[in-house]
Amino acid sequence: MDNYAIELLHITKVFPGIVANDDITLRVRYGEIHALLGENGAGKSTLMSVLFGLYQPEEGEILVNGKKAEIKNPRTANALGIGMVHQHFMLVQNFTVLENIVLGVETAKHGVLQMEEARKKVLALSERYGLNIDCDARVSDITVGMQQRVEILKMLYKDNNILIFDEPTAVLTPQEIDELMIIMQNLKREGKAIIFITHKLNEIKAVSDYCTVLRRGKCIGTCDVSTASVEDLSEMMVGRKIDFHLEKAPEHAGDAVLTLENVTLKSERNPNKNILNQVSFSVHKGEILCVAGIEGNGQSELVRVIVGLLKQNSGKILLNGEDVSHASIRYRNVHGLAHVPEDRHKYGLILDNTLEENLAMRKYFRKEFQNHGFIRFHKRHELAEELIEEFDIRSSEGAKSTARSMSGGNQQKAIIAREIDSDENVILAMQPTRGLDVGAIENIHKNLLRQRDAGKAVLLVSFDLEEVMNISDRIIVFYEGEIVADVRPEEVTVNELGLYMSGSKRKGAVK
C-alpha cells in the first residue's frame, strides 16, 4: 500500500450556481512534485483551498499521513504540516520580511518578541534552500520575486512538509522562474510533498513527477509526466487539440498612431534618478510592438505614463497626432487608447461590482447605454451577454456574478473583452496572458492579431520571452528605463534578447 502524504477523497465543493469541485480524488506522496493542471475556473485553487482549510467541502474526506483530518482553518492545516503559497501573496506590506515570516508563530518572553532566534532560523533556511532575502527590508520595497521567497520561507519556518504552490510563476521573470524550479527540486529532494498548480505545460514537464488534470470541476485523470507530451496534457486540459504554432499574416504597418518623444520620469524617492530616461518610440497601425525586459526596469511606469496614471517630468505623448501629454485618463480612453492593466484587481476591475457592470465601464456613458443620465439596463445586459459568449468568460452566475467571485483567469478575460470591444485604435496591453491557461492564451493572441490585421496598433508589454518572440512584429528592450535595442524577432535570438535585457549588450534604437 502506498504511503501518501495527503489524500483528497471524493471532494465536492459547491458555490451558488456552480459545482466548483465535483467528486475529485487526489493523492500525493512525499518526495514528489504533483502538478495540478486545468483551465481558468477548473476548480484547482478551490480544491487547494479545501485542503488548506479556507473552504469546507460538502462531501468527501481528507487523509493526512493516512489518518482522517478535519481541517477547519489554515491554522489547523499548518499544525498538520500543510503550507500554501497563494497566487495573490498574503503578506503585510508595511511589515519587514522577518516580521512577515514569523507572523502567527511568534516567540515571546515576558511579553517581548524574541526575534534574534527567529532571525537565525530564517537565515539558516534561506541559505539551505538558496532563498536569499533581506530580513529587515519592508515587503512594500521588495520585488515580486522576492515576495514569493518570503512566502516560501513562511512555510519552511513553520516546518511544513506538504507544500502547495498556487500559480507560483504567474508573476515572475524568466530568470526567477528558473530559480523557483531549482528551489522546488531541492525541496523535493528533502522529502517534501509538493502540489504545483500551473497552466504552463513546459514547467510541468520540467519539474513534475505526476499531473492530475481538472476540467470544469471534474477530474479528467492523472498521468506520469515522463510519458505524457505537452500536446497530451493540453488536450486533457481543454478537451481539444491546441495549435501551438501562431499563424501570422505578413505585417502591413501604416502611420504612427502612438508616439513618445523624449519622455522622462524622475523617481519620487531619488530625484537624481530617472525611472524613464529620454524614451522615444512610435507604434504604427497594423503592427504589434512588444516591450521586453526584466521586470522593474521602467515598463510599469511607462504604461502608467501613457495612460495618464503618472505625469512625466518632460517629453511628449502623441495619440493619433494629438498631444495628450496633459490630457485626462478619460480623454485618452475615448480618443483612441484601450488599456489592459498589469494589476487586474487594482486597475482593471471594481471587484464588488457585477461582471455586467465591469464589462460596461467603457461604454455606460454613451448614448446607446443611457438616456438623460439613466442607464438603459437591458442594453448593458445585452452587451455583457455578447462579450461573455464571444470571449468564453466563465462565472457562477453569469453577468450577475461579482467580479471578486470569479477566477483570476476569467477576470482577465473580462478586462480584455471590454478593452477590445471599446474599438479604440491603440491597444496597450501589459501582461495580458499572465495567469491564463493555454486555451485562453491562444484565444487572446488570436484576438490581438485580429486587431493588428484590422489596422489597429498594439503595444504589448510582456515578461514572457516566448510570447514576445511569437507574437511581435517589432521588439524594443528596456533596461534601467532606457531603450537598449529595437529589433525584429526574426533578427534576434532569445539569448541575445536576454543579453539586452540584462544590460550586457546594446543596439542603437531605430525609430
| Domain assignment of residue 394, given as a range | 346-423
The one-letter amino acid code at 111 reads: G
User: Is residue 396 classed as helix, strand or coil in its secondary structure?
Assistant: coil
| Rounded Cα gap, residues 223 and 415, in angstroms | 34
The residue behind cell 537624481 is 272
DSSP code of 348?
I
| Rounded Cα gap, residues 458 and 479, in angstroms | 21
In this structure, are 49 and 141 located in the same domain?
yes
In a domain, 263, yes or no: yes
Looking at residue 235, its pLDDT comes to: 83
Give me the tens of pLDDT residue by residue for the chain, a chain 511 residues long: 467 999 999 999 998 878 889 999 999 999 999 999 887 778 888 899 999 999 999 999 999 999 999 999 988 998 999 988 887 778 888 899 888 888 887 777 777 777 888 899 889 988 888 788 888 888 888 777 788 888 888 888 888 899 998 888 766 666 778 888 888 898 999 899 999 998 778 889 999 999 999 988 899 999 999 998 888 888 888 777 766 567 777 888 889 999 999 999 998 877 788 999 999 999 999 999 999 988 778 998 999 999 999 999 999 999 999 999 999 999 999 999 999 998 888 889 999 999 999 999 998 888 889 888 899 999 999 999 999 998 888 888 889 999 998 877 788 889 999 999 988 899 999 988 876 777 778 888 888 999 999 999 999 998 878 888 889 999 999 988 999 999 999 988 887 887 888 777 676 544 4
In this structure, are 252 and 213 located in the same domain?
no
Within the chain, how many helices (H) and strands (E) appear? 16, 24
In this structure, are 498 and 402 located in the same domain?
no
In a domain, 341, yes or no: no
Phi, psi of 52 (to 5 degrees): -90, 0
In this structure, are 77 and 151 located in the same domain?
yes
Phi, psi of 132 (to 5 degrees): -65, 130
In a domain, 151, yes or no: yes
In this structure, are 262 and 355 located in the same domain?
no
Choosing from 183, 217, 238, the residue where a domain stops is 238
Residue 14: which CATH number? 3.40.50.300
| Rounded Cα gap, residues 13 and 236, in angstroms | 22
In this structure, are 259 and 397 located in the same domain?
no
Q: List strands edge to edge, sheet with 288-292.
A: 337-340, 426-430, 457-461, 288-292, 474-479, 482-487
The one-letter amino acid code at 260 reads: L
End-to-end CA distance of the chain: 66
Looking at residue 243, its pLDDT comes to: 61
In a domain, 110, yes or no: yes
Cell of 272: 537624481
In this structure, are 257 and 232 located in the same domain?
no
In this structure, are 197 and 275 located in the same domain?
no
In this structure, are 359 and 260 located in the same domain?
no
What is the maximal distance between C-alpha atoms in the chain? 73
In a domain, 462, yes or no: yes
In a domain, 363, yes or no: yes
In this structure, are 431 and 503 located in the same domain?
yes
Looking at residue 511, its pLDDT comes to: 40
In this structure, are 107 and 218 located in the same domain?
yes
DSSP code of 435?
T
In this structure, are 302 and 442 located in the same domain?
yes
In a domain, 59, yes or no: yes
Choosing from 423, 444, 467, the residue where a domain stops is 423
Sequence-distant (6+) residues with CB within 8 A of 378 are none
Sequence-distant (6+) residues with CB within 8 A of 256 are 282, 283, 284, 318
User: Is residue 292 classed as helix, strand or coil in its secondary structure?
Assistant: strand
In a domain, 165, yes or no: yes
Q: How many domains does the chain have?
A: 3
Choosing from 238, 260, 292, the residue where a domain stops is 238
